[in-house]
Amino acid sequence: MITRFTGGAGGNTLLSAVGMDPERYEVWIAGVPGGDLWVRARRAGVHTVEVAGFRHTLSPVDLVVLWRLVRLVRRERFTVVHTHSGKGGFLGRVAARLCRTPVVVHTFHGVSFHPYQSRGRRTAYRLLERTTRRFTHQFLAVAPRVAEQAVEERLAPPGRVRVVPSAVDVGHIPGHFDPSARRVLGVPRATALVGTVGRIDVQKAPLDFVRMAAALRARRPGTAFVMIGDGPLEREVRRLARALDVEVILMGHREDSAQLVAGLDVFVITSLYEGLGRALTEALAAARPVVATAVNGVPDLVEHGATGLLVPPAAPEAAARAVGWLLDHPQESAGMGRQGRDRVRGAFTPQAMCTAVDACYRQLLGLAPPSDGPTPGSRRPRRTSCV
């Protein structure tokens, strides 16, 4: 169960659902309606339930949503309920508790509350997550710092959080600069191109990207900038870009964003908070030099000076200086890109993630781990349903 089946958490959930052994697991996904990942999940043979009335923000309708989730769990008699995200985690774990589901697992993609929320909303989410921790048999986190924060905030007991890095499907991502991506982006190869991928909303701080672009262009007039994604702040982005006299190409939502990243000279995220950053992981997989805000789990992925450069959040001038340094030092930048690529392609594969999730389920279900892995064409005596 997940709140919004979109973005990084949604992509992670889809990969884990599709990657589980179909001879052992029958997998369902339930969550907020809308988004392209539902279609992809159905095409992959995953059972899907877009829960009517489910929204990503707290609402009185949540009681109706909880009732619908309880009906789903009771009807299908799931062996495992695995929840993702704040609200999906709360409602899903309550539903599992009411239905006495044998195994309940929750993944922290980041905590659901942060300093940029109102005090009331922040308090409510913290209380809800703390309340449901006792309904949970095992906690997973996408990065060590996310796990640490979950324990510090008393969302999970010490020693009960396993780190399972959020995977990306690197098979369709070029491992080097791709000239064909430049042709799609419409920027000549000779032009330095700086870009980002992500939803254009408060979390991603897209206006800071525009401010960074303006500061950098004042020093490097020939630099081009691109944003891939859509969201509620798109109009504000266009307005600020005009006011600062900087051109930012807005590509909108693109299914091929992971491939287009390979056409960038530098990838930037200006997020105010970020569990790990799926687009960031994909950029590293493409060997792109990166500049990222040092928030939440990002420093677990980007080692400053080795796999990229880190800057404080809400500091566009610092981001502009870091991007400028990478553009001015192409050899060092390429070295960071290669190190980032090797790290991601070695440790952030769907196979590694699904193996870790499978091991978690097996332990909680009291099933012995496979000695040599599944035998092709073999059948197992037990089929476990999970959502």
Cβ-contact 239, 211 below 8 angstroms: no
User: Which residues have CB under 8 Å from 321's CB, separation 6+?
Assistant: none
Distance of alpha carbon 157 from alpha carbon 139, whole angstroms: 9
Stated pTM of the model: 0.84
Beta bridge partners of 85: none
Distance of alpha carbon 310 from alpha carbon 291, whole angstroms: 6
**315-352 pLDDT per residue, tens:** 999 999 999 999 999 999 999 999 999 999 988 889 99
Mean pLDDT by 10 residues, the chain (387 residues): 87 92 94 90 95 87 95 96 92 96 94 80 88 95 92 94 89 89 93 95 96 96 95 96 96 91 96 89 95 93 95 97 97 96 89 93 84 44 53
Cβ-contact 124, 58 below 8 angstroms: yes
**Helix (H, G, I), strand (E, B), or coil: what is residue 98?**
helix
Which tokens belong to 27? 């997998």
Which tokens belong to 323? 């991007």
Which tokens belong to 192? 């330095």
**63-74 pLDDT per residue, tens:** 999 999 999 999
Sheet holding 290-293, edge to edge: 249-252, 224-228, 193-197, 266-269, 290-293, 309-311
Distance of alpha carbon 383 from alpha carbon 380, whole angstroms: 7
Distance of alpha carbon 272 from alpha carbon 209, whole angstroms: 12
Residue position matching structure tokens 């980032």: 340
